[in-house]
Homo-oligomer: A and B are copies of this chain.
Amino acid sequence: MKRIKVELPGHVYPVWIGNGILSRAADLMARAGFDSPPLVVSNRRVLKLHGDVLLSSLERTFGRVAVIRIPDGEEYKNHATLQRIYEGLFRTRADRHSWIAAFGGGVIGDVAGFAAATFLRGIRYVGIPTTLLAQVDSSVGGKVGINAPQGKNLIGAFHQPSAVLSDTAVLGTLAKREIASGLYEIIKCAAIRSTSLLSYLERRLDQVLDLEPAAVSHAVAEAVRIKAEVVARDEREGEERMILNFGHTVGHALETATAYRRFTHGEAVAWGMIAAAAISCARGNLTIEEGERLLSLIERVGRLPDLKGLASKDVWAALQRDKKFRSGDIRMVLLPGLGNTEIVRGLEPRYMRRFLSGFLSFGEG
């Protein structure tokens, strides 16, 4: 088992990563100072697949554990689901010493984490992410929240977990596409901060894709370590943390322009990284060889849903609606070299539009 310490000003917490550690959940949590049962927030699918392992561990140590089931899917990351969690907390007479275990993918982490952030002005929660994407992305960083009818993640807070437990064994029940989505985020971490992780992925990508325990644990742990380092320097949304948005500018616009139906988040980010690398090369910062190294790693993960039929004016419009762009200043994370980032401000809108239309037609090829 690997243990990574996330050190924020005033709050330190462990991320445990390992194969089969779900069955030791209660021991780890007891060691982290928990002495009462959590309220487990999860969904039917996750509970059916992995509920017994978690709950029997928790109940052996803490006694009876209450479970709040919420519906599965991004469309339920909303106020009604949040309300359901509050009601479960009230029903079980939760007090300010109570804690939530958010057991599932990113949606569960976000909404259960936001419930924890706002119930009695904040109670503790532990993340037990069950998708590769959640293990490397949303479980570290403390961004929690829900969607509004006006857009995704518009209502939320920063609320750090008290611990995160990532069992790589549970990834075996994921679809290939979900594994790939998580891998793109791992590649993103490597691209912005670690050529050694990049080399590792180049050497061991097949083993990671096959979920070979040592390879997956290493890749997850390195990505978490990189994300934790960045977040430690900038808990909120400053310049430093913005580097985690590498690939997200165009990626997010692609998601919005397709109403979140064509791409998973990771796939959209993968396209976004390709776009950002292309812009970095075009500006003469990244060498063509480096750009191709990143591109070929992304291509080895699997076939991305293509860009066919996407109108550049829709993607452009989506880009401009992005909450990071509202103030009109186009900023983007680019690569001056692999493992390094620069935040470029004031990108010329005409250049961006022209680039986008070229990029989208490239997707047609």
Contact = CB atoms under 8 A, between A and B. Distances in A.
Given A120-B154, A145-B121, A157-B121, A95 B323 contact: yes
A158 B323 contact: no
A237 interface: yes
Interface string A111-129: 0000001111110000000
Contacts of A150: 90
Instruction: Report how many copies the assembly holds.
Output: 2
Interface in A319-348: 323, 326-327
B10 A155 contact: no
Contacts of A153: 121
Interface size class of A (residues with CB under 8 A): 20 to 34
A156 B90 contact: no
Given A119-B154, A157-B122, A148 B86 contact: yes
A96 B323 contact: yes
B157 A96 contact: no
A237 B121 contact: yes
A67 B17 CA distance: 49
A77 interface: no
A118 B156 CA distance: 5
B157 A157 contact: yes
Contacts of A118: 118, 145, 155-157
Contacts of A156: 118, 120-121
A158 B122 contact: yes
A119 B155 contact: yes
Given A119-B155, A121-B158, A96 B237 contact: yes
A93 interface: yes
Contacts of A309: none
Contact of A157 (B10, B90, B117): B117
Interface in A145-196: 145, 148, 150, 153-158
Contacts of A158: 121-122
A97 interface: yes
Interface string A96-112: 11000000000000000
A95 B326 contact: yes
Contacts of A119: 154-155
Contacts of A284: none
A322 to B, nearest CB: 10
A225 interface: no
A248 interface: no
A365 interface: no
A33 interface: no
30 contacts: A9-B9, A9-B10, A79-B79, A86-B148, A86-B155, A90-B150, A90-B154, A95-B323, A95-B326, A95-B327, A96-B237, A96-B326, A97-B327, A117-B157, A118-B118, A118-B145, A118-B157, A119-B154, A120-B154, A120-B156, A120-B323, A121-B145, A121-B153, A121-B156, A121-B157, A121-B158, A121-B237, A122-B158, A122-B236, A157-B157
Given A119-B155, A120-B323, A121-B143, 15 more contacts: A86-B148, A86-B155, A90-B148, A95-B326, A96-B323, A97-B327, A118-B118, A118-B155, A118-B156, A120-B154, A121-B153, A121-B156, A121-B157, A121-B158, A121-B237
Please name the 8 residue pairs, one residue from A and one from B, whose CB atoms are nearest each other, closest first: A95-B326, A121-B156, A90-B150, A118-B155, A121-B157, A95-B327, A118-B157, A121-B158
